[in-house]
Amino acid sequence: MPALQFNTPVAPVPGVDPAELSASLSPLRAGERIRLLYERFGPRLVATTSFGIQAAAMLHLIAEHAPKVPVVFIDTGYLFPETYRYAEELTTRLALDLRIYQPNVSAARIEALWGELWSDGKAGADKYALLTKIEPMNRALRELGSDVWLSGLRRSQSKTRAERPFAEQQKKTLKIYPILDWAEAQMAHYFHQHELPSHPLAAEGYVTMGDWHSTRPASTDAAAEATRFSGDKYECGLHLDSGTPDFQI
């Protein structure tokens, strides 16, 4: 298996102060934010999607306001069949410039060599994230020449996201969250207004979406955090704090 390639921290995106950028984005509507970012950064922009429960909203905004931005989809090899079908539906409907990235090691090989890493404590989960998510994402950014990353994270999704600014530097990459301040009601209104389909598993009680082995439906009294990784964590492995070792070129 090729060696994993991770870089040490380097200088931030030249000429960009994340705090100032956050302040300038705050009063704008989501579509205006995306349009402004495309005008400023152009081909340096990349977006990501997991084709999760509410992914269609962010993808629709990109299709409407910056359709040339490539959208990276990390296929871990462990996604629900419904996620793959949802991805096909949205990609066709929104004419996305979808770029699919997969781990350099297959799911079968991961299990043969290391077993079910996702259930092997923090060390196993971290190794799993490095193999199936971080390495492919690093490779995508490197091959696409992108250093400004659009993501659909929202503060209302979990307590781990409650204090995030609209823009933050994560090693070499500037991460920006155009719908960070959207509440559930605004999300629901946007879906209704544009007649967007939800992930098929939303109807079965799923409120967040990831790999099949680490995601379960929500109970009536459980927060979204409790539906991922048995409640031990919520973040999938990509949206971590800026100090996380070996993360992000």
Catalytic residue among 74, 180, 236, 249: 236
Angstrom distance (rounded) from CA 185 to CA 200: 20
Contact 137, 72 (CB under 8 A): yes
Q: Torsion angle, CA of 26/158/175/102, rounded to 10 degrees?
A: -150
* Integer Cα distance of 107 and 242 in angstroms: 28
The Cβ of residue 131 has, within 10 Å, a number of other Cβ atoms equal to 22
Distance, CA of 67 to CA of 117 (rounded, Å): 37
Q: Is 210 a catalytic residue?
A: no
Where in the sequence numbering do the catalytic residues fall?
236
